[in-house]
Structure 1
Amino acid sequence: MRRSLDFLYDAAAWLAALAMIGVLAMVLASILGRLLHFNLAGSDAYAGYCMAAAGFLALAHTLKKNEHIRVSLIIGRLAGGARRGLEIWALSAAVLLAGLFAWFSVRLAWLSHEFNDMSTANDATPLWIPQVAMAVGTVILLIAFIDEWVLEWRGLRSHDEDNEEALHNE
């Protein structure tokens, strides 16, 4: 199960990296269009779609690599049961919020598909297409938070923020 979850997080990160390449391609196409006097309709909108996809698809991988910004002012001073209780409470709140975020993201993409919602920009893209990346990214983030919650509950979660170097970076 661990290998499957890690593969899921890594796959989402690779898709995020591909989306960043998409941003680069759209920006370069727009620049070349201006230099060579042609208009590539929708390149700015597609760059935005790719940027949103990159951000959402990278969320779970970033969480699992302990790269999310975390304020550890209080929890860093706690130990034992108090720390574990606060960790479980924080992760429970994160699971709840990520679940709501995933639910409404999936619902938004589904409703955009149902109502045939189109972009108002000159690209006229069906909005469910770029919204799928947001929905997938938030669902994977929910899975990652549940993973962290289960690891904490079982006492298997590593607390890398305890090392000295992490404290110097905050």
Structure 2
Amino acid sequence: MSTVDPRHSIFPEWLRKGLDGLYLVSGWLAGLFLIAIFLIMLALSAGRPLGIDVPAGDDFASWAMAASAFLGLAHTFRSGEMIRVGLLVERFTGRTRQMVEIFALLVGSAAALYFAWYAFDMNVTSWRFNDLAQGVIAMPLWIPQIGFSGGLIILAVAMTDELLHVLFGGAPRYEKPPAETAEEVIERAMQSGA
């Protein structure tokens, strides 16, 4: 089986850099929403004993949590940190393994595209009907839904990108190379929580 260099892309260099930048920005936004959750929760906790009310703090924290979770998906996938059951895939080598990877990426891409489409549709529907949050602050719901639908759209792009890469003979970029030293095995086991 001939494979292309895993760093090689079927896309032009400007598009490859743009896609990788999109995944990185998505990961950074997820991190910023984590910081927002921390600050909101800190304000809520510190404000209670002082009699300071943070209007709709719980709503904003939950919206930030959803945005953080979904915006982080593509970056997590491309970094090889997404939970993946490799028990079956790792048993194969060569062309058979490539076909199993393609099948898994095809199913994953189809699922991501399906959910991204309906999340986007929900976002547009909320905007069309001017759907408002039922909390203390009547915020248009399409605004916090952008993190949810945007994260799913970026994940669908990342999975389709990877599917095309593997279809054209590339090795999956989300796979980490095998550990070479005992220390590396221990470090990976500690990071995974195993």
Check conservation: 2:119, 2:152, Cα contact below 8 A.
yes
1:74 is the counterpart of 2:92: no
**Cα displacement (A) at 1:41:** 1.2
The aligned counterpart of 1:37 is 51
**Corresponding residue to 1:58 among 72, 75, 81:** 72
1:107 is the counterpart of 2:121: yes
Q: What does 1:1-170 correspond to in 2, within 5 Å?
A: 1-158=15-172, 160-161=175-176, 163-164=178-179, 165=185, 169=192
Q: Is the helix fraction higher in 1 or 2?
A: 1
Check conservation: 2:162, 2:172, Cα contact below 8 A.
no
How many residue pairs end up in the alignment? 170
Check conservation: 2:67, 2:147, Cα contact below 8 A.
yes
Runs of 4+, deviation exceeding 6 Å:
none
**Cα displacement (A) at 1:161:** 4.6
**Cα displacement (A) at 1:58:** 0.6
Check conservation: 1:16, 1:55, Cα contact below 8 A.
yes
TM-score by length of 2: 0.82
The aligned counterpart of 2:8 is none
Q: Distance in 1 between matches of 2:169 and 2:105?
A: 13
**Cα displacement (A) at 1:38:** 2.0
Q: Distance in 1 between matches of 2:106 and 2:122?
A: 24
Higher relative contact order (CA 8 A, sep 6+): 2
Q: Tell me the SS of whatever aligns to 1:68.
A: coil
TM-score by length of 1: 0.93
Q: Tell me the SS of whatever aligns to 1:69.
A: coil
Q: Tell me the SS of whatever aligns to 2:166.
A: helix
Q: Which amino acid aligns with 1:26?
A: I
Q: Tell me the SS of whatever aligns to 1:46.
A: helix
For structure 1, list consecutive stretches of 5 or more residues without a partner in the other structure: none
Check conservation: 2:119, 2:148, Cα contact below 8 A.
yes
For structure 2, list consecutive stretches of 5 or more residues without a partner in the other structure: 1-14, 180-184
Q: Distance in 1 between matches of 2:172 and 2:142?
A: 37
Identity of aligned residues (%): 35
How far does the alpha carbon of each residue in 1:90-148 deviate from its partner, in whole angstroms, 9 at most, with x for none?
A: 10111110101110010011101111111122222211110011111111101100111
Q: Which amino acid aligns with 1:83?
A: R
Which piece of structure 1 moves more, 62-71 or 77-86?
77-86
How far does the alpha carbon of each residue in 1:4-54 deviate from its partner, in whole angstroms, 9 at most, with x for none?
A: 111101111111111111111111111122021121110011011111111
Q: Distance in 2 between matches of 1:84 and 1:162?
A: 16
Q: Give RMSD over aligned pairs.
A: 1.7
